[in-house]
Homo-oligomer: A and B are copies of this chain.
Amino acid sequence: MTMNNNRLLKIEMLSTGDEVLQGDIADTNAAWLGQKLGDLGLKFQSRHTVADDLDDLVSSMRECAKRSDWVFVNGGLGPTSDDCSAQAAARLLGVELELYQPWLEQLQQWYARKNLVMPQSNAKQAMLPKGAEFVDNPVGTACGFIIEYEGAKLIFTPGVPSEMKKMALEQWFPRLPVSFDTGVKRFYSFGLSESWLNDKIDKLTLPLGARIGYRSARPSIEIKIFYDGRCGVDTRLSFEAQVRELIGSFLFCEDQGNWAQSLQDEMLVRKLKLSLAESCTGGMIADQLVAQAGSSAYFVGGIVAYSNSVKSQILKVSDKDLAQYGAVSLSVVEQMAQGVRQVLGSDIGIATSGVAGPDGGSESKPVGTVCFAISTANASFSQTLKFSSPGRHPIRVMATAVAMDMLRRYLNGLSLSADYQLASRIEQQGSEFL
């Protein structure tokens, strides 16, 4: 099969359930599956959400099947009576539900291993439309199945995200006519705009069998290169080198997009310890680092220096400088970074202080103005940036990202004076290479 064939495959998704339909939960399954299909060079034709209502389900399945090659039906396979996807499938085909004995035994064994008696309601989950093909669920009690209707295949999966994902990846994707020597290369950039990247990468000569995708997930842009079998290894590596060069120092990680994990890996290799002094980011940087298991091996701790008294008493910032330059100043943020490094005893100290708004801005320091500093035993660098993103939360998110980016740049010997496209540089101080 070639990619051209893949593009023609018509796929629809049918989600069931009141919680999704009435907005109690966002349909993250749909977003996840859309992205994964994109990685294979495929895409949804359309998506539909209906309540767990037998008539609605049957007519939606019929309509989807008429238009598509594959319909991915998600949800409605639970043990309770409101879950009726299997029943709807049987009615669509005009057949009965019948017991699939191997799954009933699997369920009974699962409960027996936990020293529990299987509730009678779970037996319902072993009832499949007559003639359906069984689809295993290795991580839950709701098995899936596949039926054919008017030339279309419909695959039924449970709504629990972890179960749906495992079943889609392991049991549905291998059935799709995709050439599976397909590879994906991912780059994660910070500081460049999507349109800038798009323009530049468009000017490269795309090798046969490669295509580009972008995903903007604030604060980063993910650049994906998808390959099919026509694109050989040498060609891939040489093209990736061109993309890497183009992103330049704004490349945060490759292959995986977890910044905190990638910083943690680098800190551990270098056996360095970090501490933080956060004012406007108020714990957000620490929270992201601590979210990674094992972060205690390099992250000593942080001071949320929200008031001036904490800045002066704990971080030893000069009261005179606080009064003269204000809390949002290069002088103060430098002293914060140095202070936290010394007080908490780490190799590197990073500090933030800014005006996140909505109030507190002035003519000289409008909302969006944030000062950053990084301090080591030998040197320090500080900078003031002005973010254009509106709103307290986006400003704090961007400030957190810049602080993490400064650590990455320091660890990789890159210039700390980066030309971010999403902020304007107001001033800087110290050596840009520490």
Question: Whole-angstrom distance between the alpha carbons of A25 and B305 in the complex?
Answer: 35
Q: Which residue of B lies closest to A56 (CB)?
A: B46
> Are B46 and A50 in contact (CB-based, < 8 A)?
yes
Question: Whole-angstrom distance between the alpha carbons of A164 and B357 in the complex?
Answer: 25
Question: Whole-angstrom distance between the alpha carbons of A27 and B280 in the complex?
Answer: 30
Residues of B within 8 A of A363 (CB): none
Question: Whole-angstrom distance between the alpha carbons of A118 and B12 in the complex?
Answer: 39
Contact with B along A14-51 (1 / 0, CB 8 A): 00000001111111101111110110000111111111
Question: Whole-angstrom distance between the alpha carbons of A393 and B281 in the complex?
Answer: 20
Q: Which residue of B lies closest to A50 (CB)?
A: B46
Q: Which residue of B lies closest to A305 (CB)?
A: B301
B30, B51, B63, B276: the one within 8 Å of A304 (CB)? B276
* Chain B: minimal CB distance from A313 (Å): 7
Answer yes or no: A344 CB below 8 A from chain B CBs.
yes
Answer yes or no: A300 CB below 8 A from chain B CBs.
yes
Q: Which residue of B lies closest to A23 (CB)?
A: B34
> Are B23 and A30 in contact (CB-based, < 8 A)?
yes
Residues of B within 8 A of A290 (CB): 280-284, 304, 306, 396
Answer yes or no: A233 CB below 8 A from chain B CBs.
no
Answer yes or no: A291 CB below 8 A from chain B CBs.
yes
Residues of B within 8 A of A25 (CB): 31
Residues of B within 8 A of A45 (CB): 50-51, 56
User: Interface residues of A, CB < 8 Å — how many?
Assistant: 70
Residues of B within 8 A of A28 (CB): 26
Contact with B along A294-325 (1 / 0, CB 8 A): 11100111111111011001100000000000
Q: Which residue of B lies closest to A31 (CB)?
A: B23
> Are B293 and A392 in contact (CB-based, < 8 A)?
yes
Interface centre among A23, A216, A290, A296 (most CB of B within 10 A): A23
Number of copies of this kind of chain in the complex:
2
> Are A291 and B393 in contact (CB-based, < 8 A)?
yes
Question: Whole-angstrom distance between the alpha carbons of A28 and B31 in the complex?
Answer: 11
Answer yes or no: A237 CB below 8 A from chain B CBs.
no
Q: Interface SS of chain A: helix, strand, loop or mixed?
A: mixed
Q: Which residue of B lies closest to A296 (CB)?
A: B306
B291, B293, B295, B358: the one within 8 Å of A306 (CB)? B295
Residues of B within 8 A of A23 (CB): 30-35, 38
Contact with B along A320-343 (1 / 0, CB 8 A): 000000000000000000000001
Chain A positions 219-252 with a Cβ under 8 Å from a chain B Cβ: none
Question: Whole-angstrom distance between the alpha carbons of A294 and B359 in the complex?
Answer: 8
Answer yes or no: A143 CB below 8 A from chain B CBs.
no
Interface centre among A25, A296, A303, A307 (most CB of B within 10 A): A307
Residues of B within 8 A of A35 (CB): 22-24
Residues of B within 8 A of A284 (CB): 283, 287, 290
> Are B306 and A304 in contact (CB-based, < 8 A)?
no
* Chain B: minimal CB distance from A241 (Å): 27
Answer yes or no: A60 CB below 8 A from chain B CBs.
yes
> Are A43 and B22 in contact (CB-based, < 8 A)?
yes
Question: Whole-angstrom distance between the alpha carbons of A27 and B392 in the complex?
Answer: 23
A/B interface sample: 9 pairs, CB < 8 A: A22-B34, A27-B31, A47-B48, A283-B290, A290-B396, A294-B359, A300-B306, A300-B307, A301-B314
| Additional A-B contact list (8), CB under 8 Å, known A21-B46, A26-B31, A282-B283 | A22-B44, A26-B28, A27-B30, A30-B49, A283-B284, A284-B287, A301-B306, A313-B344
